[in-house]
Amino acid sequence: MRSPMNTPTPRFDAREASKWFFRHGHTGWLGLRFTDQGDNWVELELPWREDLIGDSSQHVLASGPIISLMDMASGMAIWQTRGTFQPVATLDLRVDYQRPARERASVKGRVECYRITRSAAFVRGIAYDDDLADPVAHVAGCFMTIGADPREANPALGGGGDA
């Protein structure tokens, strides 16, 4: 993951990354959009769509796409916090549904990475439709970095004491 000294890797930027992240794959199919970011958080939006409803009697987004939204916002919050794009694997993700999303409403997911070590990252966030103080769901998750095994890290190259 080290780049030559004369070509420093630009800091990960969720807004820029969204331009190519959401062009294909599962998140592209869902139509996720970037909405906002901070130093350690990212907010994405899942637009309302007829074929994503969970129950034919209600015009309300299913809970499944909301998990996808929060999973993606979690990963991006981790890269935003770390400052680099290093693939992560979700270990677990818990979603507590507070209430259904409003009819025909898109849902935003704001996730913050509140703790990060060399190999693990912890996130928490909320999904909401129009009021951050009246969430649709709360989430909590734990992720692990993949591709770089900390046991193989050379302590002489700046290995810290964390996990």
Partner 1 sequence: MPEGLELPAYARSLGLSLTGGEEGGMPILTVDFGPMVEGRPQHFHGGATAGLLENAGYAALRTALLAAGRDPLLKPINITVQYLAAGKSQASFAVGRITRLGRRNANVTVEAWQSDRTRPIATAVMNILMV
Which residues are near partner 1 by CB under 8 A? 24-30, 50-57, 62-65, 67-72, 87, 89-97, 100
**Shortest reach from residue 96's CB to partner 1, in Å:** 5
Q: What is the Cα–Cα distance from 45 to 75, expressed in whole angstroms? A: 15
Which residue's CB is nearer to partner 1, number 91 or number 132? 91
Buried-exposed string 109-131: b where 16+ CB fall within 10 A, e elsewhere = bbbbbeebebbbbbbbbbbbbee
**Shortest reach from residue 87's CB to partner 1, in Å:** 6
Residue at 141: amino acid letter: G
How many C-beta atoms lie closer than 10 Å to residue 143's C-beta?
Answer: 24
Q: Token pair 């959009």 is at which residue?
A: 33
Which residue's CB is nearer to partner 1, number 6 or number 57? 57
**Shortest reach from residue 3's CB to partner 1, in Å:** 20
Which residue's CB is nearer to partner 1, number 39 or number 149? 149
**Shortest reach from residue 154's CB to partner 1, in Å:** 26
**Shortest reach from residue 28's CB to partner 1, in Å:** 8
Which residue's CB is nearer to partner 1, number 52 or number 121? 52
Which residue's CB is nearer to partner 1, number 39 or number 50? 50
The DSSP secondary structure of 103-156, one letter per residue, reads TT--EEEEEEEEEE-SSEEEEEEEEESS-TTS-SEEEEEEEEE-S--GGGS-GG
Pull the structure tokens for residue 16: 């820029």
End-to-end Cα distance, the chain: 19
